[in-house]
Chains A and B, each alone.
Chain A
């Protein structure tokens, strides 16, 4: 690594020596350094997003060959569940492939790009600072703003590159998509990525921990998504508070409005300016939130590996639980909008026997989203097993009278118990506001049950990670692939009409029709057996293998 970076650094150094340097000195070297570090990671992100979009385009004409097919899909789209999930369903009277792309894909692509931007920004700013590596670099000839600037340039460029690739490849893949509109689509998703690059730059300044900075960024993304979902279903102005909302209000492929993207650009500039202002005011390694002295003695909780796992993960779990509760409360309140929606719309009334099934369909999607979020928490939580090991903190614990199994069980119980708590919190929130909106107390129990029914599927995702942890600890992050599969199949399945088996093997399929439909008991039993087997296999492997730090 040093071989590639040392040489240019000397050159920069020589060039700057006469001028004394600025707060940006060394930015170019840092950019090269980041590109070198992420020479695998960046192409994977860019490739996955671009291929995800471009690769799904051929399915449009296959799934919806005639105008009538497309119109049927457009009519289906006109319900609060889908709107809350994907976005404002515009252009429905002439549902072209373009309108389809915008309505069904834009929101998801924007979220993927936002996630990429947050993760990469924090990785190259706060995570580096937390490990102390930034200190080493800053002791050299490196300006105060160079790391943040370099990270912003690289992540920003990744967003722009994704945009450019989309703008070129989308019309080339599906000729019905006009090039100029595709350029706007690309600009719209890239604009969301840029805003969250800025958000990542700012959250990295606030806390001392990369984990917390990523969490704050993800929470901001959650708020942006929820604002747009609630806004699109009911109060339009709420959507105007969300960067995702702005991207969707370009009405790309239908009206092609460029101006809402100015809002994203403005916000990005503001966020980056704030991040810069913060960097120049704080010490290296410090956050805006200063740590305070703690207790000189350990409480009763810190007496077992489970207690340690609870203590380490408590803060994160509380944050997630509050997030899911709020998520549930927000979506539950939309239940009354659905009833109004049905009474205003006679075609739908003919179509559906009563408003209950529409409410149930809406709730099923909300509960599914909660289950996916609970699984995301479960993954981050169970991955602590591996991060404790690589950080060298598992070693002193395992050098005491703690067996491998007890050590692993601690974090596993927190991951599984924690995700259950999240399902309950989300289900409760959803139930409370839905019961008030519908004036029907019985729905609380039904939503609670629907959320709970997803537990086994969520646990299965966690169990997969345990199996990997035991036998291929370097591959534990493949657990995210399982979750991504669940997201794609569960949330995009309605549009892409995947073959039955593709949908069925998702761990989130068994309970996906609740609260309205039936729970697939067979699937739940199979998943339960698989989960137990994976955990057992994983623990067996962990008991047999060496402790590693790489």
Chain B
């Protein structure tokens, strides 16, 4: 499998802020790659480096086999981009903006353009300034999806879209994937990423902290278990990989590292399981685990600031 995006050790600083701090990112051709991270983690900065809008201080970046900075124009013929915050020309209509961006990229697929306008229910005769945030987003999406390119770079593309339009967007990405095309989808909407993406990279303060298929990542996370047993369960806290254990009489709830699941269930069985519910790890938990210490730090700060 060839690599569509290959970033290694990229550093980008703005003044004293280190926005990208040795970032590695690898996206294979034909996959939909989720690029996850909270606000300010460096998602947009990474994308702007990939688009040749920002120049990396150090490290290497390859995009579709070329250099994103030096070969920007040639590469941009082969990709389409939807920014997170779409700014349109106030006095150009949505239709004009779609045509303009498509033509500058090298052409618009007329049939797909018409089809997308209908599916996204977008009025192309309105002026840029009169569009709502969601409609501006649709203009950029139609412009990108109507072009015949091999790579889509989407920076939080569904912000501002209603649930109906999100569904349309997901259908579009599925079709795109079926055509064997590559997508880099930056997002913090985890459900969307779980639904669409083959592989996921999680960025935090300018570094990738986790990368792999959803299954691989789930493996790293915990399953939540709630069980009712005939006799109280003892000795669970002695097992490796058990967290947040709460035992009340014959009820027990805990979370367990996926690798230790087998041992934990085996430990429950002798106590006589009456009910057992297990919740598979979600991306959200994965996410929270990586940013958990930040949340904790905030919690501490709140307590310290409280007038107790």
Chain B residues near A315 (CB-CB < 8 A): 91
- A493-550 contacts to B, CB under 8 A, are 544-547
B53–A308 contact, CB under 8 A? no
B48 at the interface (CB under 8 A from A): yes
Partner of B73, one of A294, A299, A391, A401: A401
B96 touching A399, Cβ below 8 Å: no
Cβ of A209 within 8 Å of any chain B Cβ, yes or no, is yes
Contacts of B76 in A (CB 8 A): 399-402
- Give the complex CA separation of A392 and B53 in angstroms: 12
Q: Which A residues lie within 8 Å of B88 (CB)? A: 393
Residues in B whose Cβ lies below 8 Å from that of A297: 95-96, 99, 124
Complex Cα gap A35–B53 (Å): 36
| Complex partner residue of B95 from A291, A298, A303, A398, CB under 8 angstroms | A298
Task: Please measure, in the bound complex, the distance between the C-alpha atom of A174 and the C-alpha atom of B55, giving whole angstroms.
Answer: 56
B56-96 interface (Cβ within 8 A of A) = 72-74, 76-77, 79, 81, 83, 85-93, 95-96
Categorize the interface residue count of chain A.
35 or more
User: Is B227 an interface residue when CB atoms closer than 8 A count as contact?
Assistant: no
Q: Would you call A392 and B93 a contact (CB within 8 A)?
A: no
A399 touches B93 (CB 8 A): no
Q: Kindly list chain B residues whose C-beta atoms are within 8 Å of the C-beta of A67.
A: none
Interface centre among B91, B106, B124, B129 (most CB of A within 10 A): B91
Q: Is the CB of A302 within 8 A of B81?
A: no
Q: How many angstroms between the C-alpha atoms of A546 and B68 in the bound complex?
A: 13
Encode A393-408 as 1/0 by CB contact (under 8 A) with B.
1011111111100000
Nearest CB in chain A to that of B53: its residue? A547
| Interface presence of A208 (CB below 8 A) | yes
Q: Chain A 374-392 against B: per-residue CB contact (8 Å), 1 yes, 0 no?
A: 0000000000000000011
Chain B 106-142 against A: per-residue CB contact (8 Å), 1 yes, 0 no?
1000000000000000001111011000000000100
Q: Determine the chain A residues whose CB is within 8 A of the CB of B77 once the complex forms.
A: 401
The tally of CB-CB contacts under 8 A between chains A and B is 109
Most chain A CB inside 10 Å of its own CB: which residue of B54, B104, B140: B104
The answer to whether A305 has its CB under 8 Å from any CB of chain B is yes
Q: Which residues of A contact B103 (CB under 8 A)?
A: 298, 302-303
Are the CB atoms of B100 and A298 closer together than 8 Å? yes
The residue in chain B whose Cβ has the minimal distance to the Cβ of A388 is B89
Within 8 Å of chain A (Cβ to Cβ): is B271? no
Which residues from 277 to 310 on chain A have a C-beta closer than 8 Å to any C-beta of chain B?
291, 293-299, 302-305, 308
CA distance A125 to B207 in the complex (A): 43
Judging by beta carbons under 8 Å apart, are A295 and B105 in contact? no
Contact between B125 and A293, CB atoms less than 8 A apart: yes
Chain A residues with CB under 8 A of B97: 298
- What CA separation (Å) do A294 and B97 show in the bound complex? 12
- Is B129 in contact with A401, judged by CB distance below 8 angstroms? no
- Interface pair A393/B125, CB less than 8 Å apart: no
Partner of B48, one of A293, A299, A400, A547: A547
Number of interface residues of B (CB under 8 A): 41
B74 with A312: CB separation less than 8 A: no
- Per a CB cutoff under 8 Å, which of B85, B93, B104 touches A402? B104
Residue of B nearest to A392 (CB): B87
Of the candidates B51, B89, B105, B126, the one whose C-beta lies within 8 Å of that of A293 is B126
Residues of B within 8 A of A298 (CB): 92, 95-100, 103
Which residues of the other chain, A, contact B126 by a CB distance below 8 angstroms?
293-294
* A403 partner residues in chain B, CB cutoff 8 A: 72-73
B261 at the binding interface (Cβ < 8 Å): no
| Known contacts A392-B83, A399-B53, A399-B76; A295/B93 CB under 8 A | yes
A133 proximal to B (CB < 8 A) = no
Across the interface, which residues of B come within 8 angstroms of A293, CB to CB?
93, 125-127
Cα–Cα, bound, A305→B105 (Å) = 11
| Contact status A291-B127, CB under 8 Å | yes
Docked Cα-Cα span, A366 to B92, in Å, equals 37
CA of A398 to CA of B55 in the docked complex: distance in angstroms?
Answer: 14
Is B8 on the interface with A (CB-CB < 8 A)?
no
Given A296-B93, A401-B76, decide whether A396 and B99 contact each other with a Cβ distance below 8 A: no
Q: Which residues of B contact A391 (CB under 8 A)?
A: 87
What residues of A have a CB within 8 angstroms of the CB of B79 in the complex? Answer: 399
Instruction: Report the nearest A residue to B97, measured CB to CB.
Output: A298
Q: Give Cα A315–Cα B92 distance, bound, in whole angstroms.
A: 13
Q: Which residues of A contact B53 (CB under 8 A)?
A: 395, 398-399, 546-547
Residues of A within 8 A of B85 (CB): 392
Name the B residues within 8 Å of A303 (CB-CB).
100, 103-104
Complex Cα distance A403/B69, Å? Answer: 11
Do A294 and B104 touch (CB < 8 A)?
Answer: no
Residue B225 at the chain A interface, CB threshold 8 Å: no
A37 within 8 A of B: no
Q: Which of B74, B83, B86, B95 interacts with A401 by CB under 8 Å?
A: B74
A contact residues around B105 at 8 Å (CB): 400-401
Contact of B125 with A295 in the complex, beta carbons under 8 Å:
yes
Residues of B within 8 A of A396 (CB): 81, 83, 86-87, 101, 140
**Which residues in A have their C-beta under 8 angstroms from that of B87?**
391-393, 395-396
A108 to B167, CA, bound (A): 62
Question: In the complex the two chains form, is B104's CB within 8 Å of A401's CB?
Answer: yes
Query: In whole angstroms, how far apart are the Cα atoms of A21 and B143 in the complex?
Result: 47
6 CB-based A-B contacts, threshold 8 Å: A296-B93, A302-B100, A312-B89, A393-B87, A396-B81, A545-B55
Q: A396-B101, A547-B54 are in contact. List 14 more A-B contacts (CB 8 A).
A: A294-B127, A298-B103, A303-B104, A305-B104, A315-B91, A393-B87, A395-B83, A396-B81, A396-B140, A400-B76, A401-B106, A402-B104, A403-B73, A546-B53
Interface residues of A (CB under 8 A from B): 130, 208-209, 291, 293-299, 302-305, 308, 311-312, 315, 391-393, 395-403, 544-547
A-contacting residues of B (Cβ < 8 Å)? 48, 51-55, 72-74, 76-77, 79, 81, 83, 85-93, 95-101, 103-106, 124-127, 129-130, 140
